[in-house]
Structure 1
Amino acid sequence: ERVVQEIAATAESHAASAQQVSAAAEEQSAATEEMSAASSQLLQSAERLRELFAGQISIDVTSAILKRAGEELRLGGYSPKTGRTYLHHCRRYLRQINKDPMIAKAEDIRRYLLYLIDETGVSRSYYDQAVSAIRLLYEKVLKSPARFEDFIRPRKEHKLPTVLSREAVRKLLEAVGNLKHLAILMLVYSAGLRVSEVVNLRPEDMDEDRRLIRIRGGKGRKDRYTVLSEVALRTVRNYTEKHPVETWLFPGPDPRRHLTVRTVERVLETARLKAGIPLQFSVHALRHSFATHLLDGGADLRVVQTLLGHSRLSTTQVYTHLSKEKLKRVYEKTHPRA
């Protein structure tokens, strides 16, 4: 009986212990649930903080990516103008997708390009620049070229450039009252210069003896020579005699820097309005007019190609569609009803 009592007491003791263990387990389970809930709340708070500060983080990441892209552009020998254009497109793309570009998928890029076409209505040339810039971003900066393998280029538009008549050019130049501004526009038209080329001219680039102008680092970073006409030379001489120059032929307000392209565009617009020319055009139209008027006068196409600095003859051939005098002569000579 004593043994039975001892066994019963031991069982009761074990039962009490089991209850204590069970109660402890329940308390631990409750504590675990509380900790889990607290962890969930912390994660939610962290996510909210991440969303709140996503812009700041994005700015830091974007700055680092754009800095690297700028370095790649300089190493690749891109011109400063092209570099600025590509960085603009990269910055706009990163801002629009609003996520780390390394986790962006090909579909994200596709949606962005469709956004440019459908919602912003950009030109095909702008779209083409965006494709080139984003391709460089993934291939050279992020080292992830596979995302871009399936994207195609848009079909190129075949628009004819704007060309002024000889009379319109005369009226435009006569409307320019400032000697410096006249020299700039005179050189653009008489030598077929790009606006970026004329503002970058230095006094030593004017070869007066050979009647040539040396163009340094033109489009594609190519040097070339083009013609310096007698009337343009006289205009430049008159300008430099009254306004001596040093580093730049056409310095800006700060003599250490050349005049800006935007300033030349404003000069042209002011002259256009003063001359009463209704057609809107850019400085580049004077370069188009230079080529077309040469062809009108019977100049050889390859000579015009050399003067313009075109790598391919096909680029120059567009002006054959604009040479009305030449087309008229061929028509009158060959058409039976002319």
Structure 2
Amino acid sequence: MLRHMQLKNYSKRTIDTYLSCILNLSKFYNRTPETITPEELKEYLYSLLQSKKTSISNINQVISAYKVLMTGVLEKDWTVIKISRPRREKKLPVVFSKEEILRIIERTINLKHRAIISFAYSTGLRLDEVCKVRLSDIDSSRMQIRVSNGKGNKSRYTILSKQILELLREYWRYYQPKSYLFEGRQKGVPLSHSTIQELFRHRMAAAGIRKPASFHTLRHSFATHLLEQGINLRIIQTLLGHNSIRTTTIYTHLQNFDPGSITSPFDHLRD
């Protein structure tokens, strides 16, 4: 199964997650995973839901991992197996206001931490993508950033702010990263996800922000604020690296607008 996923160019995080899911399934029945039937998988999933120790998202990960095992390794027909996925509760993502973004940045004294947070918001990158940005990905002549091997191992470009470029130059002069833009204590090794998540939690607390937000909220805020600026949804989709425009449309429910500034089409019939 490992070799199959590597050949299919699955990301390391996905491989680790799927292998962990199959290992736990195997431990539950104390049998090798290929002997576990679809009906037994359903019983296992039911037990997870009953224990309330897992989320709908994790349940779907187990199903996806089992599908890779069945179709990719054992070459079975998935349409015959018929395992339905539980519906996820649709929640609108949390978004920072522009004032909250400024407050977080202004309360961040450490230059490196300020650069990380500012860079993430200004580009709309995912946490994993921020960690993987290399110095060679920054194109200051065209004012854009290459996002290599993003989600689904797809590459794209996103915008580079002039103010952020100046901040990154200041940061580079002081920290002198070797390969990755944001490295840990060891040169040439990127900062870990947990390190960035932890520093962001501290910065949120310092800014007095109590909403249930995370580092990923910077990405949601980037998209929402672009939409409020009047940027076309298709452009935002491209910048975010979404496969489907339907994923991007969720931000239309988050943007602020003044109903009083909108005129009815009736008023323009004679224009």
Report if TM-score (shorter chain) is over 0.5. yes
Decide whether the 8 Å contact of 2:156 with 2:241 is kept in 1.
yes
Query: Structure 2 vs 1, CA of residues 106 and 181 (structure 1 numbering), >3 Å: closer, same or farther?
Result: same
SS of equivalent to 2:242 = coil
1:168 maps to what in 2? 100
Residues 153-190 of structure 1, C-alpha deviation per residue, up to 9 Å, x if partnerless?
A: 22243211110111111111112121111111111101
Corresponding letter in the other structure for 1:76: K
Identity of aligned residues (%): 37
SS of equivalent to 1:333 = coil
Corresponding letter in the other structure for 1:129: Q
Decide whether the 8 Å contact of 1:135 with 1:148 is kept in 2.
no
1:122 maps to what in 2? 54
1:157 maps to what in 2? 89
Query: Structure 2 vs 1, CA of residues 329 and 212 (structure 1 numbering), >3 Å: closer, same or farther?
Result: farther
Matches within 5 A, 1:160-239: 160-239=92-171
1:87 maps to what in 2? 19
> 1:144 Cα deviation (Å)?
5.1
SS of equivalent to 1:128 = helix
Decide whether the 8 Å contact of 2:147 with 2:158 is kept in 1.
yes
Match of 2:244 among 270, 293, 312: 312
Corresponding letter in the other structure for 2:61: Q
Decide whether the 8 Å contact of 1:116 with 1:122 is kept in 2.
yes
Number of equivalent positions: 266
> 1:77 Cα deviation (Å)?
1.2
> 1:242 Cα deviation (Å)?
1.1
Q: Which has the higher contact order (CA 8 A, sep 6+)?
A: 2
Instruction: Please give the root-mean-square deviation of Cα atoms over the aligned residues, in Å.
Output: 2.1
Distance, in Å, in 1 between the alignment partners of 2:119 and 2:260 is 31
Q: Does 2:254 match 1:322? A: yes
Distance, in Å, in 1 between the alignment partners of 2:96 and 2:78 is 47
1:268 maps to what in 2? 200
Match of 2:227 among 295, 302, 314: 295
> 1:152 Cα deviation (Å)?
1.1
Output the TM-score relative to the length of structure 1: 0.74
Query: Structure 2 vs 1, CA of residues 195 and 180 (structure 1 numbering), >3 Å: closer, same or farther?
Result: same
Distance, in Å, in 1 between the alignment partners of 2:40 and 2:94 is 38
Distance, in Å, in 2 between the alignment partners of 1:232 and 1:163 is 21
Corresponding letter in the other structure for 1:277: I
Corresponding letter in the other structure for 2:238: T
Distance, in Å, in 2 between the alignment partners of 1:301 and 1:103 is 47
Runs of 5+ consecutive residues of structure 2 not aligned to the other structure: 266-271
Distance, in Å, in 1 between the alignment partners of 2:128 and 2:111 is 19
> 1:142 Cα deviation (Å)?
4.2
Match of 1:333 among 240, 263, 267: 263
Corresponding letter in the other structure for 2:129: E
Runs of 5+ consecutive residues of structure 1 not aligned to the other structure: 1-68
SS of equivalent to 1:214 = strand
Output the TM-score relative to the length of structure 2: 0.91
> 1:148 Cα deviation (Å)?
6.7
> 1:194 Cα deviation (Å)?
0.7
Match of 2:9 among 57, 70, 77: 77
SS of equivalent to 1:213 = strand
2:39 maps to what in 1? 107
Structure whose residues are more often helix by fraction: 1
